Structure 1
């Protein structure tokens, strides 16, 4: 297992996405103005659906922002995990039902805790965590949100994570849909890098396991594995454009390189751990050309989002 705190390295990830969604989010067309739309992708990156569907989630009291660690958000997390584990029909198809059953068998204590009336106990444990700072609360929140994000499509629109994977074949399958007889070739696969330490940018099974013992000592209910076993890496908030190296276009079978690689500043000072140089001085002006409602900012390893 690679150390949670290892630095000066990176991993390569893939994200499958259909073109229709990108066209809807960025307000453009691959067919009529592919160049313009690609410029938007490499300028704005790829956002979690949460930031396209919700304007700071104003209609709800939970997950209002990417850094929301309020009690209301932990109440929401408890209720959602409870529904997954107690409602046999919640989440849909045979795949989800089978995965849920396997998860419950291997996580009996976790299942028992969230299947019973322990919501206030859950909140009290979190509020009494030693060194209960915002960064620690955010890690705890993400530890549980990962279970919801990993479970299935019903949560994806509320999720503050962007799904990626270490397995390109898995990304291809996601991009084209799960019907091998009817693949949707009108899709792309992002090639993305994430610097280590990974826990500053994302969460996956490896990170959740490294947190496992620490949280157990603090009295929190812990899980030993995610619900769907896959090589998913959940990126917080957004795929930042400076870390997108390019796109595989599954329709044309071409690889499209991020054009900022060839900009003078990137060529002269390129450091893969810091990403490409992208001048975003006109970001707030240009983002109004898209259908995004919110954008994500990362400063000193802290995330926040702003309404447009």
Structure 2
């Protein structure tokens, strides 16, 4: 019987590239190839607090647009990867939503928003989605009778808000994103531009087939340290991994259920932060572009990679992001609380 090789272990078999200080794609040196293999093993061999290993299918065309790369610039792909590994990949809220649209509403005004108004809107939107007669929605409701009954009863809206508002701001944000994930996974029928989540999958095959841009298709390889809810939400979590919601007395998704359960989807909260991106696989060229910040670690603190992620020097982050087309950005403090800031704020 043949044992399948883990996708992360297959990285070393690809043509390894990285990005230099000038935003140029260059080959990974032999000694650094060993470092990459060592980093993979430090993640995979961890028995305690095992990180989530996730993948996101995308395209260079889409990434260049999201990262505001001028098509006429020299070496656009190298510049794109340099920005991706410095800024990460952000939810649509940060690069698609205009300020005027946010100012015109009272709910979900930012990644920081854990207000009662936002939870009132969230309850109403989940109730709206669960009333759809589509087969996928009906199957989800059948698999989640307690959750479906709770949100279909309009009188529970007051209880929902009251239960949530008893929790700390950090826990409220996790609960918000846990339920927002249901809307997010339903696409435009749920939530689109205003979403605070970025989709990923635990299944490489799903991620590899997500985009249909031919030679432009790429797959991001990522890892999310425990506790998982610091960076991710999903119906695929075990109850103990989403204890914040359970402790608040609110209904949980049945594990692995969803409107599109085959997607095996996780939602990164706010952004896929650069210190969680191991690298990017180019499906057309068989190149794997390694996060240059991983190589810059020179093997130091590899034993803590699974817990802390890649060390990315970002002293100039706020100055540099103000030179991009992002409308706003997100910061997570040491306690795990999410803060959002408009580019123009000081």
User: 2 CA distance for matches of 1:305 and 1:219?
Assistant: 28
Task: Give the total of aligned pairs.
Answer: 286
User: 1 CA distance for matches of 2:110 and 2:198?
Assistant: 15
User: 2 CA distance for matches of 1:213 and 1:283?
Assistant: 33
The residue that corresponds to 1:240 in the other structure is 273
Pairwise CA distance, 1:247:
0.4
Distance change in 2, residues 1:113/1:278 (3 Å): closer
CA contact 2:116–2:161 (8 Å) conserved in 1: no
The residue that corresponds to 1:190 in the other structure is 220
User: 1 CA distance for matches of 2:275 and 2:249?
Assistant: 39
Q: Which structure 1 segments of 5+ residues have no match? A: 1-5, 89-96, 177-182
The residue that corresponds to 1:174 in the other structure is 210
Q: Which region of structure 1 is more displaced relative to structure 2, 293-302 or 109-118? A: 109-118
User: 1 CA distance for matches of 2:193 and 2:338?
Assistant: 19
The residue that corresponds to 1:113 in the other structure is 150
The residue that corresponds to 2:55 in the other structure is 14
Residue aligned with 1:252, SS: coil
Distance change in 2, residues 1:217/1:274 (3 Å): closer
Matches within 5 A, 1:206-285: 206-207=236-237, 209-210=239-240, 219-224=249-254, 225-229=257-261, 230-263=263-296, 265-270=297-302, 271-272=304-305, 273-285=307-319
Q: Does 1:146 align with 2:181?
A: yes
Pairwise CA distance, 1:215:
5.1
Residue aligned with 1:295, SS: strand
Distance change in 2, residues 1:85/1:281 (3 Å): same
User: 1 CA distance for matches of 2:320 and 2:208?
Assistant: 30
Distance change in 2, residues 1:243/1:111 (3 Å): closer
Distance change in 2, residues 1:136/1:253 (3 Å): same
Pairwise CA distance, 1:148:
1.0
User: 2 CA distance for matches of 1:256 and 1:65?
Assistant: 32
User: 1 CA distance for matches of 2:333 and 2:182?
Assistant: 26
User: 2 CA distance for matches of 1:66 and 1:145?
Assistant: 12
Q: Which region of structure 1 is more displaced relative to structure 2, 209-218 or 7-16? A: 209-218
The residue that corresponds to 1:163 in the other structure is 199
User: 1 CA distance for matches of 2:315 and 2:87?
Assistant: 12
Cα shift readout 1:209-256 (whole Å, capped 9, x = no counterpart): 447887567553444232221321111111111221110112322111
Q: Which region of structure 1 is more displaced relative to structure 2, 128-137 or 189-198? A: 128-137
Aligned with 1:42 (options 74, 79, 85): 85
Give the number of the structure with larger relative contact order, counting CA–CA contacts within 8 Å between residues 6 or more apart: 1
The residue that corresponds to 2:42 in the other structure is none
User: 2 CA distance for matches of 1:53 and 1:208?
Assistant: 33
Q: Does 1:72 align with 2:137?
A: no
User: 1 CA distance for matches of 2:98 and 2:312?
Assistant: 26
Pairwise CA distance, 1:131:
5.1
Distance change in 2, residues 1:101/1:278 (3 Å): same
The residue that corresponds to 1:124 in the other structure is 159
User: 1 CA distance for matches of 2:313 and 2:75?
Assistant: 26
Name the TM-score, length of structure 2 as normaliser: 0.74
CA contact 2:227–2:241 (8 Å) conserved in 1: no
Residue aligned with 2:237, SS: helix
Pairwise CA distance, 1:266:
4.7
